[in-house]
Structure 1
Amino acid sequence: MSPGDEHDSFGGVGGSGQTRTRLPEGNSGDVYGGARRPVRSSRSLLTVVGVVVVLVGAIALANRGGGDPADAAGPRAGTPGDSAPTAATGVRPVSGKNGRIPTGYAHDDQGAQSAATNYAVALGSAEMFQDGPREDIVRAIHDPAVVDDLLKGLDASYSAELMSGMGLNKDGTPPTGNTFVSRAVPIGAKVVDYTETSATVEVWCVGLGGLAGAGSTKPVTSTWFTISEKLKWVGGDWRVQSVSQREGPTPVNGDNRASMADEMAEAVEVYGGFTYAR
């Protein structure tokens, strides 16, 4: 696949040992952007662009080997069920930050899960649509050996034509009076393969993408997907080598009515993101 192939799909299965976060209940209100969405929309903005461009670029340009993976890691310390579902378990998950991205993960399977989950959030963020912030994110989370080629592909993918098709200005900013929404919200994570030098981690996410604002023709919608990240232990931390994605698992759509545009825009501004940890 080549960067910018917007027709790849998401999906997949979350696994055991997930990090779970309770999400707030939606509020009833007038329909935002027209009638309520059907149970399964064909594509949301985030599906088509927010994550696909980034991840397909990572597959095509950063797909390099990282040693033979061993079987999935064995049981972690402690007895399952000892802690609350939303509590972080095990060793301290992270020790520092590179800009706004947590770094310094533990050199074990729990650290790999924490790294992959936070990296999924970074890759699905609105900052990926602007040249400077995108380069900062890519350099912060990827193996240095793949960064330069990956950036070239991503810079070509995030073209002025792509931005225009999304309703954004050519520099990736939203038009006046609109708020651009692009978030990947992890639901859980599991280790698929693990060795001392490499790990493959799947992160189940719900994504939000679109423009919130008066007259927006691209209202904020949601999509469900599973990201698979191949990580390498480089320079004392877990770094991304390659990424793939598949659709789902997707729950049945609930009965909540979509919020009005101004309510959605305000929510994005006042509700900050999380640092996720196993």
Structure 2
Amino acid sequence: MTLLVAGIALVNTGDKTGPSAHGQRPAAASGTRSEPTTDSRAGARAAAARIAERLGGTEMMDNEARRRLFTEIAAPALRQKIIAEHDDAYDAEFFAQIGLSPQGKPPAGTEFISRTEASSGTVTHYQAQQRATVEVPCTGIIGLKGPDVHEPPEASQFTMTITLIWHRGEWRFTESKQT
């Protein structure tokens, strides 16, 4: 799961072994109260799309922001495991592969671009008040921009399969896969 999310960033470079780095979007994910989701197929689709966009965001490059994200969206029973897996995946080696410092920061004078737009997905599995799996088509853009950057950010299309559980009135993230 972690390498899949992590691999989104490397789709454009041809290396599919590192962490995700597609776009951040301020839309609420399941686990926030600003956009509640319902225990329905439509609610699961909406939650999965918001989560896919957040997993592809620049906040994944910042240790504290990434941990806050998973604290917000992950199923409580899996939260620490998910955080640890992603902390391991988002390491200095991965950051170097996408042009960032060992701390996940862009070089001076550049900006790291990472955005994902998710379409309404297809629910492939649904059990009311229990579990849902949603295939979410996404378009992402990733790269560095700045005066000395010679390669523009690149776009890619991919599908994230997001698995959710229904927990205390909302959909919570348990895992993802990317194709």
TM category (shorter chain) comes to 0.7 to 0.9
- Higher-Rg structure is 1
Query: 1:242 & 1:152 partners in 2: Cα distance?
Result: 13
Identical-pair percentage: 28
Per-residue displacement from partner, 1:114-156 (whole Å, max 9, x unpaired)?
A: 1000000000001101101000111111111111112112111
**Aligned-residue CA RMSD (Å):** 3.0
Q: Which residue of 1 aligns with 2:127?
A: 195
Could you say which residue in structure 1 is the equivalent of 2:98?
166
Contact 1:166 1:218 in 2 (8 A): no
Give 1:39-188 correspondences, 5 Å limit.
Answer: 43-44=11-12, 48=16, 49=18, 51=20, 98=32, 103-188=35-120
By how many angstroms is 1:222 displaced? Answer: 0.6
How far apart are the structure 2 equivalents of 1:228 and 1:4? 13
C-alpha separation in 2, matches of 1:161 and 1:183: 21
Deviations for 1:10-32, whole angstroms, at most 9, x for unmatched residues? xxxxxxxxxxxxxxxxxxxxxxx
In the TM superposition, residue 194 of structure 1 has moved relative to its aligned partner by 1.1
Q: Partner amino acid for 2:171?
A: W
Q: Does 1:233 align with 2:150?
A: no
Q: 1:162 to 1:188 in 2, by over 3 A?
A: same
What's 2:24 paired with?
A: none
Select the structure that is richer in strand: 2
1:213 maps to which residue?
146
* Count of aligned pairs: 170
Residue identity matched to 2:152: P
TM-aligned CA distance change 1:225 to 1:201, over 3 Å: same
Q: 1:232-269 CA deviation, whole Å, 9 max, x = no partner?
A: 101210011121121xxxxxxxxxxxxxxxxxxxxxxx
Which structure has more helix as a fraction of its residues? Answer: 2
C-alpha deviation, 1:6, in angstroms: 9.2
* Uncovered stretches (5+) of structure 2, i.e. residues with no partner: 22-27
Kindly provide the CA deviation profile for residues 16-75 of structure 1, in whole angstroms up to 9, marking residues without a partner as x: xxxxxxxxxxxxxxxxxxxxxxxxxx94159844538xxxxxxxxxxxxxxxxxxxxxxx
